[in-house]
Every structure is written in C-alpha cells, then in structure tokens.
Amino acid sequence: MVGCRAEDRIVCLSINVANSQPSGNAVPRGASSENNLNVYLNGNLFRSVKSGFVVAPVDKYLKAGCNAIEIGGTAIAPVEIRLAAYESDHRTINRVILDEKVTPIAYLVKWNQLFQLKKTVRLPIFEEKNQLPNHMRAEQEIGAIVTNMYQTCVSSNWDEFCRITLEGYKKHSPAEYLDVTSGVRSMIRTFRPKAFPERLRFVFGKNLVYVYSCVVAGNKVLFESDEPDSCAVGAVEFAYIDGRWIVW
C-alpha cells in the first residue's frame, strides 16, 4: 500500500496504452489482438480504454483514507499508469501517488493496487445511507431521467440539460461548477440527437451506475448526434443521494 504525507488537493489519473504491439511479438491463438481495458476506482467503472493517452481528474471517485484502483481486460503492449496529486492550479504536482507499468501476460491484464489519500472533503456516495437500491428499480428510475435528458436535447433546453447533468458537480466539485456549466453549454448548444436509444446499458459499481447506449469509434456514448462528425453525449454516471438519483 502506498502511503500519504500531505493533503491531496486534485488527483488526476493518466493511462497510456500503446496501439501497436512490440516488434517480434505474435498474438497467441485465441487471444484478442486489440486493447480493451476497463479501469475501476473503488469498485466503480471510471473509463473503458482502447488506445492512446487518457488523463482526467478522478476526485469524484475517491475518499479519504484507503482507496483502490483496478484494471482488467486485454492489451497488446505494456500499460503505463500514473496517479498524481496536483495543487489548485491543476499544473503543479504535489506528489506522485502511483507510477506503474503493467505488462500483459498472454495479452491479458489484471492489476490492482491500494493507495492512501488525505482529503478533507467527504463525498456523499460513500455514506452508508446512500447505498444503491435494487437493480430493477434503479434501471427504471435512471431510465426516466435519461428520457428527460433526451427531451431537453430535442427541445434545445440547455439550461435544463445542464441542471440535470451537472447536479453532481455541486457536490463533488463546487468550485468548478460555474466554469463547467459554461463549457458544457458552449459545446452542446448545436447538438441534435438521433432517435432515442433502443437500449440503455447499465454497469453497476459499488457506489455509482455507469450508463451508456452504444459504442462509437471506441467510445461509450449515451446519445448519438444526428449530424456526421459532430459531438455526442458521452456515458454518464448516476449516484443515489438522499433517496433519489442524480447525474454524478
């Protein structure tokens, strides 16, 4: 377990997955010849990674004290993983928490690590009263919220769209809420969705539910765009807070 010495203000996770295998390596019979990795933080799906370099803040998945990261799936080359705490400027590294290179065995990756964080913010998703209800009820209630989200896209009601999709930011990143709202409204204002998804897919984690409808160009999305080469609404996570679901 990796120790903790100072307040961890802003924690970012970076993952580098090569999209080509080392020269001279042949894919074993029956093994996958592509990257397909799932990254979990404290038992909740953070991201599915195909290739390239991914970096993102992950504070909304973390708690004070002991935390866990887990990566599983297939990879054609070693996977580089780095977890670092930054100062409030988002650029100055306070400390490196993890810095690992995981080598696949027969193109399979199964790796996990515990690490300690010192944080003063306590997130409600880790409170006992906010444990997830049964799956059938959750899918029905979340499905109703997704339908409402879709209707706001169709009607271009972006104020309501931001209110629904960014409610969790008020709880886990209140200082960034206004900037994020402005950015989302700017990106989404020309979005026109395709027909409502035929099927929603739910990935139940320990504290969050990850929801998407399909995979486009290797990325899980909730709503596809009706226009070629336009942005899509990506997968979203739902948290059960004080007896109701919100987008986390």
Residue 20 or residue 143, greater confidence: 143
Domain boundaries in the chain? 10-117, 124-247
pLDDT in tens, 151-207: 999 999 999 999 999 999 989 988 888 889 998 988 888 899 999 999 999 999 999
Beta bridge partners of residue 202, listed in sequence order: 211
Percentage of residues in the chain having pLDDT higher than 90: 62
65-82 burial, b for 16+ CB within 10 Å, e for fewer?
eebebebebbbbbbbebb
* Res 148 pLDDT > 80: yes
- Distance between CA atoms of residues 240 and 151, nearest Å: 22
**pTM for this predicted structure:** 0.86
pLDDT in tens, 8-26: 878 999 999 876 665 445 5
Of residues 18, 3, 144, the one with CA closest to residue 78: 18
Which residue bears the tokens 């003063």? 120
Does residue 237 contact residue 44 with C-beta atoms inside 8 Å? Answer: yes
